[in-house]
Amino acid sequence: MDLADRVVGSVLGLALGDAVGAPFEFLRAVNVPDPLPALELPWMDLPPGSTTDDTAMARNLARSLSERGGFDADDLVGRHLEWFLSDPADAGTLTRRVLRRVARGEDAEAAARAVWEERGPEVSAGNGSVMYCAPLGCAYAHRPRELVELAPRLSALTHVDGRCRTAGLAVTLAVAGLVRGEEREAVVRSALDAVREREGGEELEHLVDVVGSSRAIDGPDQGFCLFTAAVGLQAMVRSPDFERGIRRVVSLGGDTDSNAAVAGALLGALVGESGLPAAWLRRLRDRDAIRAEAEALVPLAATGS
Ligand SMILES: [Mg+2]
């Protein structure tokens, strides 16, 4: 398995996780069907295999990175805005509030800060930035020191809360480590080490051990960014393969599409495109376009190697 396989695996894995989780979003775990009908049910009247805002924003990020040759905040916000104004089937609460302000001419970071101050930290640590950040980790796979600055900045375009920035940094560092071909135990350890002193860093480390067992993620705080990062990192370390990992994440209920999108990006970087379930890939909508966008990231992923 080479670097290109892992980059494409990560981006397609994100889309697969999103599509598998979408029909079960916001269900309690007990109400998620078992066995899980994967890519068999519609979502928002769209056909099975459709993806949601997680994949839409990840694709904006992937296209922006490859066309701009790296992270370009203004270009990315422009793509998010264009998508938002196209009236998508869904968009996260915080993202919607921020992009509405951006549409009126406000700067994204300032708008995100204003929304955060308006709403307060209790309801401002949603997973709307961590859910789509993985392509940044692919593009900067061999430049992890740059990720330490860029991943929190990416989050702050919509989610300025320190815990969201921490979650995004941990996930992008882990994706980068996997794309470099490092061993998964070492990858999760070094990602958690890198964020331990940051806001929410210790909580994230704890959650990686306990989400889905002693800590449920299907309650009122289900969209919490640290749940989504933790369940993804846990799946990456513990799953025997991509399919069983994603099935387990979705079975936990809560924000199933975003949780599985992050788990899918991480597991996809681990197993590569060749390790993704072929039957699932066949049913993924826009698969070929997503695949091409992922391939365009490969030269960036190799930069600095
Ligand atoms: Mg979604």
Predicted local confidence at residue 167, as pLDDT: 98
Structure tokens at 20: 């598998």
Count Cβ atoms below 10 Å from residue 99 Cβ, excluding itself: 24
How much is the mean pLDDT over the chain?
Answer: 96
Give me ligand 1 centre to Cα 207, in Å.
Answer: 22
What does the alpha-carbon distance between residue 26 and residue 239 come to, in Å, rounded to a whole number?
23
Q: What is the DSSP letter of 240?
A: S
User: Per-residue pLDDT averaged across 25-35, rounded?
Assistant: 96
CATH number at residue 286: 1.10.4080.10
Residue 79 CB-half CA count within 13 A:
18
Predicted local confidence at residue 1, as pLDDT: 74
105 has pLDDT over 90: yes
Closest by Cα among 215, 259, 283, 274 to 26:
259
User: Per-residue pLDDT averaged across 184-188, rounded?
Assistant: 98
179 has pLDDT over 90: yes
Higher pLDDT, 124 or 158: 158
Give me ligand 1 centre to Cα 53, in Å.
Answer: 5
Closest by Cα among 148, 142, 130, 226 to 176:
142
Give me ligand 1 centre to Cα 22, in Å.
Answer: 7
120 has pLDDT over 90: no
Helix (H, G, I), strand (E, B) or coil at 44: coil
User: Per-residue pLDDT averaged across 251-273, rounded?
Assistant: 98
- Residue 157: pLDDT band by 50, 70, 90 thresholds? very high
Structure tokens at 35: 């066995």
Q: Dihedrals φ, ψ of 73, to 5°? A: -60, -45
**Helical packing angle, 184-195 and 225-238, nearest 10°:** 150
121 has pLDDT over 80: no
User: Per-residue pLDDT averaged across 100-107, rounded?
Assistant: 96
213 has pLDDT over 80: yes
Give me ligand 1 centre to Cα 51, in Å.
Answer: 8
**The model scores a pTM over 0.95:** yes
Share of the chain above pLDDT 90, in %: 95
Q: Which residues contact 25 (CB under 8 A, 6 or more apart)?
A: 43, 52, 255, 256, 257
Give me ligand 1 centre to Cα 55, in Å.
Answer: 8
Give me ligand 1 centre to Cα 52, in Å.
Answer: 5
Give me ligand 1 centre to Cα 18, in Å.
Answer: 7
- Residue 254: pLDDT band by 50, 70, 90 thresholds? very high
Closest by Cα among 191, 80, 192 to 128:
80
Share of the chain above pLDDT 70, in %: 100
Give me ligand 1 centre to Cα 54, in Å.
Answer: 5
Higher pLDDT, 1 or 305: 305
Give me ligand 1 centre to Cα 91, in Å.
Answer: 7
Give me ligand 1 centre to Cα 63, in Å.
Answer: 19
Predicted local confidence at residue 2, as pLDDT: 95
- Residue 15: pLDDT band by 50, 70, 90 thresholds? very high
Instruction: Report the range of poorest mean pLDDT among 73-77, 79-83, 182-186, 221-225.
Output: 221-225
Domain limits at 10?
A: 3-302
Structure tokens at 221: 């705080």
Counted domains in the chain: 1
124 has pLDDT over 80: no
Predicted local confidence at residue 63, as pLDDT: 98
Contact 161, 170 (CB under 8 A): no
Predicted local confidence at residue 138, as pLDDT: 98
- Residue 232: pLDDT band by 50, 70, 90 thresholds? very high
